[in-house]
Structure 1
Amino acid sequence: MDSEAVQHGLLPLSACPPTANSCAHYSRGCSVVAPCCGQAFGCRHCHNDAKVRWFPSFRFRFGSGSADVLKQPCPVPRQNSLEVDPRDRHEIPRHEIKKVICSLCSKEQDVQQNCSSCGACMGKYFCKVCKFFDDDVSKGQYHCDGCGICRTGGVENFFHCDKCGCCYSNVLKDSHHCVERAMHHNCPVCFEYLFDSTKDISVLQCGHTIHLECMNEMRAHHHFSCPVCSRSACDMSATWRKLDEEVAATPMPDIYQKHMVWILCNDCSATSSVRFHVLGHKCPACSSYNTRETRAACPRI
């Protein structure tokens, strides 16, 4: 019997054998019965991988204007394809899960922490709201009533921001810039939904959010501004001082000496008229070179 097909709900419930720690994403002692399609899956990710993520994974190559298809095998059977009716593709409503199957005795039962038949603990961490089981309690799982889902990292290390609608590290409690529903959107780089992502998320100075690994990839390709609003994503003061030196060492030809341009600063939103320079235009309000030209060159007054 194809155990991978069983795990991802491609066989009927009666064909599921008793296997310990049946989920590839979590260490747990049960499978969940999806209320939407009536099939058994190791967890919600197993279901969504089989029922939703039928398209090839890709990542944007910065500066190329194209997307690269990742050269890696899909971790689950791609049940969906272009030939499958799009109406059959769906995500599991995790809070509506009513039944689980014990991996030790194969007993189908109501959602609970201990098996009603053999008494086995199906998850050292158990959330009756999210219908979530996990034996690896080192993650510091906790349920956030504000988010409505379980998160990791330890409840003592995070706070819920009501305006942003998500949990942030205590380090950001008095310093982050609030953006309404900050994580209720896709990552601007890889387009994965951020709110319930299992990957680490970075909060930029502007308040927008992005996967940490995507942020690191941007920096590796010398992109240091927010992909959403173009504000600097980190402290760029050292870079601006270096640009000051380069601009001073690179005088423009006489024909450009009196040419002025209007610029918009991406960091402070100030609009200014500055002398044109091929290396960059410095904002007189905040000294940032993260600016864009908004009008054609005009004679200096």
Structure 2
Amino acid sequence: MELGCDHYERNCKFIVSNAPCCRRIYSCRFCHDDKEDHAINRHEVDTLICAKCSTVQSVKLECEHCGVRFGKYGCLKCRLFDNEEKGQFHCEECGICRIGGKQNYFHCEKCNICLPKNSINGHKRKPLI
């Protein structure tokens, strides 16, 4: 099995079994969306296939058979695994993973979005830091 795709370098592929048309294997949600006539909800991903040993398993950070970590960065909430360092972090308030380093962002509670810290002086709402 190849490691990743054009979108992510990772050590797993996924299967979505909640949608009836999607009992297919994809490297990521973007690969799925490129091939299907609908977008996938990443939270519906319920099964992974290890790219090293081909073990089919529930979503977790490491393979239950060979122990390989599916990505240097892994977020079980977003079903996101990536071996490339992008400063990924999960924002609990936004409910998604972002890139660019948590230390470089603040979450504005009123706007409910993460913004770059260098824009804090120009932002009209009070941030949560």
Which TM-score applies when normalising by structure 1? 0.39
Deviation string 1:166-202 (CA, Å, 9 cap, x unpaired) is: 2110011231256xxxxxxxxxxxxxxxxxxxxxxxx
User: How much identity, in percent, do the aligned residues show?
Assistant: 43
Q: How does 1:272-287 map to 2 (within 5 A)?
A: none
Q: Give the corresponding residue for 1:170.
A: 117
Q: With CA pairs under 8 Å and 6+ residues apart, which has the higher RCO, 1 or 2? A: 2
Q: Give the corresponding residue for 2:65.
A: 117
Q: Give the corresponding residue for 2:100.
A: 153
Q: Give the corresponding residue for 2:25.
A: 40
- Structure 1's consecutive aligned runs of 4 or more residues displaced over 6 angstroms after TM superposition are none
Q: Give the corresponding residue for 2:50.
A: 102
SS at match of 1:156: helix
In the alignment, structure 1 residue 143 sits paired with structure 2 residue 128 = no
Q: CA deviation at 1:102?
A: 0.7
2:40 to 85, 92, 99: 92
Contact 1:23 1:31 in 2 (8 A): no
Q: Give the corresponding residue for 1:26.
A: 8
SS at match of 1:160: strand
The one-letter code of the counterpart of 1:32 is F
Cα separation, 1, equivalents of 2:109 and 2:39: 26
Which TM-score applies when normalising by structure 2? 0.86
1:127 to 75, 82, 87: 75
Deviation string 1:16-46 (CA, Å, 9 cap, x unpaired) is: xx22x13221110111112322211111111
In terms of fraction of residues, the more strand-rich structure is: 2
Cα separation, 2, equivalents of 1:129 and 1:173: 28
Q: Which runs of 5+ in 2 are unaligned?
A: none
Cα separation, 2, equivalents of 1:109 and 1:23: 20
Contact 1:24 1:42 in 2 (8 A): no
The one-letter code of the counterpart of 1:108 is V
**Which of the pair has more CA radius of gyration?**
1
Q: How does 1:238-277 map to 2 (within 5 A)?
A: none
SS at match of 1:109: strand
Cα separation, 1, equivalents of 2:33 and 2:113: 22
Q: How does 1:43-62 map to 2 (within 5 A)?
A: 43-51=28-36
Cα separation, 1, equivalents of 2:25 and 2:13: 6
In terms of fraction of residues, the more helix-rich structure is: 1
Q: Which runs of 5+ in 1 are unaligned?
A: 1-17, 52-88, 179-301
How many pairs does the alignment contain? Answer: 122
SS at match of 2:94: coil
